[in-house]
Amino acid sequence: MANSSCSDVKVLGAWPSPFVMRVRIALNIKSVKYEFLEETIGSKSQLLLQSNPVYKKIPVLIHGGKSISESLIIVQYIDEVWSSGPSILPSDPYDRAIERFWAAYVDDKFFPSMQLINTAQGEEKAAKVEQVTEGLVLLEEAFQKSSKGKAFFGGDRIGFLDIALGPMLGWLRAIDKMGGVKLLDEVKTPGLVQWVESFCADGAVKGVIPDIEKLLEILEKMKGN
């Protein structure tokens, strides 16, 4: 149950990855101690290649020697194994389906649209900004329906969809600060603007998503390349 030695639970990852952040937030919600094995940028460790031979990607969760990949699958695994901790997925099957739907949307449509937006220029950038904005408008609507006036998609506490989207918008907030474009707009998506603040300030998230200044540092480096 909830008592495993620290070495029993390992996360292979890298701190900037929003997918890795999801796993760490989920473990924090369940108060599970884990060993964080940071991959070196530009190379893949033997352990990574062995434990995720199909995709060779992070995050990988290794629990009692067994490895699991794909961040949203890992998060659901964490929710099911540490079932005595606070629930991550909602209990109602319809609500679960809706949260899974939007989490899949984040991975299949929204995150890809975010790619390279901070290094794009001119017309290409304008097109990307439009795509991202349309996605945010849809997510705002989903937020209003799902939260029912509360702070998170999951209600009073962070849930599955909060975890799926939060790290992405954490990055987006930093991209906005770089200037030149405003993606998270208080007028168009007021709920999400408030939500991302609450999310990043939450106990389970603090320390996993670094402060804006650190994220800006990385973005500046990317722009320089």
The tokens for 110 are 């929204």
Nearer to another protein, 161 or 200 (CB): 161
Interaction of residue 97 with another protein, rule CB under 8 A: yes
Nearer to another protein, 93 or 203 (CB): 93
Interaction of residue 224 with another protein, rule CB under 8 A: no
Stretch that binds another protein, among 93-101, 125-133, 169-177, 194-202 (CB under 8 A): 93-101
Nearer to another protein, 24 or 63 (CB): 63
**Which long-range contacts (C-beta less than 8 Å, at least 24 apart) are formed by 171-177?**
171/18, 171/114, 171/215, 172/114, 172/132, 172/196, 173/200, 173/212, 174/212, 174/215, 174/216, 174/219, 175/117, 175/118, 175/219, 177/212, 177/216
Interaction of residue 80 with another protein, rule CB under 8 A: yes
Is the preceding peptide bond at 59 cis, omega within 30 degrees of 0? yes
Could you say which residues in the range 112-151 bind another protein, by CB under 8 A? 138
Nearer to another protein, 105 or 195 (CB): 105
Interaction of residue 96 with another protein, rule CB under 8 A: yes
Query: Residue 32 is inside which H or E element, if any?
Result: none
Which of 17, 69, 118, 189 binds another protein (CB under 8 A)? It is: 69
Nearer to another protein, 53 or 207 (CB): 53
Q: At what angle do helices 122-147 and 160-177 cross, to 10 degrees?
A: 140
Q: Is there a contact between 106 and 24 (Cβ–Cβ < 8 Å)?
A: no
Q: Which parts of this chain interact with another protein (CB under 8 A)?
A: 54, 63, 66, 68-70, 73-74, 76-77, 80-81, 93-94, 96-98, 100-101, 104-105, 138
